[in-house]
Amino acid sequence: MDGCRLTGDREGISKVPAVRLDFGGEDQDTCDVVREETLTIAVEAVGSYTLMWTPTCHRAEAMGYTDADGLLGEGELSEAMALAVGFLFTEGLIGGLDDLNSIAFCPDIPSVVRVVLTDPGAVTVRRRDVVVNSSCGVCGEGEWFESLSDSLPDVGDGLMVTTDNLHHLMDRMRRRQVVFEATGGTHAAAAFDAAGQILAFAEDLGRHNALDKVIGQCLFAGIDTAALGVLLSSRLSLEMVSKAVRAKFQVVAAVSAPTSLAIELAQRKRQTLAAFVRQPKCNVYANGHRIVSAPRPEMLKN
């Protein structure tokens, strides 16, 4: 499972009129911009969460899930469902698919996903009935940060990666970012394994959404994220790292900069954190024992 391929109708992209100004004057033109829509996740007996997101898939999609029957419908996993489940997981509302009784799209309002948890009374709710925008972060000061850290698991060991292959994987993720190529306005995330294979990929206007989509894809595919690393096109904020820690990704590698609390959380949870992963260098800020400089022959090379 490696995300969606765009079709001829350019899913995730809207065309808008624009005036281009330069030293030679002005021209009427049409520009590609990122499509922004709402997705409301209504969790029975808990609350609702409205995400600003970008749908990038255009294909037949399964539009429901139950614990007893699995995915409902003849299509593939819905991108919106992957986002919803990934968000529920990284929000701490579920620990896996076993905590879900059912998910269904509202037939009258397709931008609403209704969720029934197996045991809503057991959920510790951090926030509810909120709009989560594309750059939404979390406050990380003082006791709140300590509480967040205590609630998250340590990540395991076993994954090793070379700097060469980190750059190779980052290049491969970048080549898949077709919405970004057209608009310059999206982020991407990709989960990779010890063999250098990209197992899940997603784009979205929100960096948090892209990561949640990837985690949701892995959950539905039965892929153990605790054995994987993840690539990010964004900066490494506290919330991005906390999501990756909750999924137990062993290595997090990003194109851009980290924040101080993101580094501290990764250090505490034994997660390898690499930033500014751009040819030919990268900076390692936490637990660098999983990144080696010599190429490993078993890693995929194209």
pLDDT category of residue 54 using cuts at 50, 70 and 90: very high
Task: Kindly name the residue from 4, 57, 136, 282 that is annotated as catalytic.
Answer: 136
Beta partners for residue 72, in sequence order: 64
Percent of the chain past pLDDT 70, that is, above it, reads 87
Q: What is the mean pLDDT of residues 216-223?
A: 96
139 assigned to active site: no
Give me the helix-helix angle, 260-268 and 142-151, nearest 10°: 40
| Assessment of whether the complete model's pTM goes beyond 0.85 | yes
> Which domains are delineated in the chain?
37-151 (no CATH), 161-292 (3.40.140.10)
Cross-strand partners of 281 = 278
Given this model, what pLDDT does residue 210 score? Answer: 97
Q: What percent of the chain has pLDDT over 90?
A: 65
pLDDT at 76: 81
267: part of which helix (H) or strand (E)?
A: helix 260-268
Measured CA distances, 151 to 66, 91, 269, 290 (Å):
28, 11, 11, 24
Tokens of 42: 């209504």
pLDDT tens-digit map of 113-163: 999 999 999 888 877 777 776 555 554 445 678 988 999 999 999 999 999
Residue type at position 64: G
Which residue from 173, 255, 166, 242 is spatially nearest to 208, judged by alpha carbons? 242
- Three-state SS for 24-86 is CEEEEEEEEEECCEEEEEEECCCEEEEEEECCCCCCCEECEEECCCEEECCCEECHHHHHHHH
Angle of helix 238-246 versus helix 79-90 axis, rounded to 10: 100
- Give the pLDDT band of residue 93 (cuts 50, 70, 90): very high
> Would you place residue 296 in the very low, low, confident or very high pLDDT band (cuts 50, 70, 90)?
very low
| Helices 260-268 and 238-246, axial angle in degrees (round to 10) | 20
Mean pLDDT of 42-59: 89
pLDDT digits (tens, 9 = 90+) for 228-270: 999 999 999 999 999 999 999 999 999 999 999 999 999 999 9
Stretch (H or E) spanning 201: strand 198-204
Arithmetic mean of pLDDT, 23-48? 87
Q: Where are the alpha helices (DSSP H) in 61-206?
A: 79-90, 142-151, 163-176, 178-183
